[in-house]
Amino acid sequence: FLGKIKKILETVCHNCGKILVDESNPAFVEALRARDPKRRFDAIWRLCKPKMVCETSMPLEDDHSEKPKEPRHDHGGCGNIQPEVRREALKLTGTWKAQKGDDEHEGQQAEKKPITPQMALNVFRNISTQDIHKMGLSNDYARPEWMIITVLPVPPPPVRPSISMDGGAGMRGEDDLTYKLGDIIRANGNVKRCDLDGSPQHLTQEFENLLQFHV
C-alpha cells in the first residue's frame, strides 16, 4: 500500500486532514462526477499534488477601497505549508519549503525529514468521512488508516505446520512462515528495547526499518 499511502499524503492536509482542493475548482467538481472510484481518486490526486498550502480564508486587502470586492471563497483549511512527498525504497520523506510571499518563513532552508508510519497514521485519522467518500475510498472497507499495520494477526499452528526434512528420515523443521514470524517478533523486541533504553534516534530508526522490512 506504500504507493497509495504516498498519494493520499499528497491529497490531504498533514495538519487538519482536509482535501487540498474543493468544489470551487471546476476540475474538482468534474472529478467528483466520475463513478469509478479509482478514476476519481486519481483525478483528485492530480489536482491536489501541486498544492503546497492548505488554503484558508484570508482577509481581504485594501478593505477601505470604495470599489466593492467580490467575496473570497473560504476553503476552511488551516493555512499550513504542505510537504513535497518523496518515496525512497520503503521510506517516505517530506520536504517543507517556504512559499513566496510568506514573510515569516521566507529565506529559510527547506526542511526535510522522514514521514514515519505514526505520522501518516495521525494524518489519516484526521480525514473526515465526507472527504474519504470524495476521494473514492470506502469508510466500510478501505479507510486510509487501515493501510498501516498496527496489529499483526498471527496464524495458528495448523496453518503453518512443521515440515519434513532429510527426505522424511524423521527430522522436522519449522515452516517458513513460522521463521518469518520469529524475525518480526525479534525485530519488534529490538525496537521496544531501544524506546525503553532511550537509545539514539538513528539506532532506533535502523531497527524500525528492519521491522518494516520483515513485515
Do residues 91 and 117 both lie within one domain? yes
Is there a domain that residue 116 lies in? yes
For 160-174, write each residue's pLDDT tens digit.
887 766 665 666 677
Reply yes or no on whether the pLDDT at 71 is more than 50.
Answer: no
**Grid coordinates of 3:** 504507493
Do residues 188 and 163 both lie within one domain? yes
DSSP annotation of 59 reads P
Do residues 127 and 163 both lie within one domain? no
Reply yes or no on whether the pLDDT at 65 is more than 70.
Answer: no
Out of 93, 119, 147, a domain closes at 147
What pLDDT was estimated at residue 57?
Answer: 64
Is there a domain that residue 63 lies in? no
% of the chain at pLDDT higher than 70: 82
Boundaries of domain holding 115: 2-56+73-147
Do residues 82 and 130 both lie within one domain? yes
For 2-35, write each residue's pLDDT tens digit.
889 999 999 999 988 899 998 888 999 999 998 8
pTM above 0.85? no
Distance (Å, rounded) from C-alpha 121 to C-alpha 141? 17
- Residue 73 pLDDT level (bands cut at 50, 70, 90): low
Is there a domain that residue 67 lies in? no
Do residues 98 and 121 both lie within one domain? yes
Do residues 110 and 170 both lie within one domain? no
What pLDDT was estimated at residue 42?
Answer: 94
Averaged pLDDT for residues 88-115: 76
Q: How many CA atoms lie within 13 A of 3 on its CB side?
A: 2
Q: Which residue has the higher pLDDT, 133 or 79?
A: 133
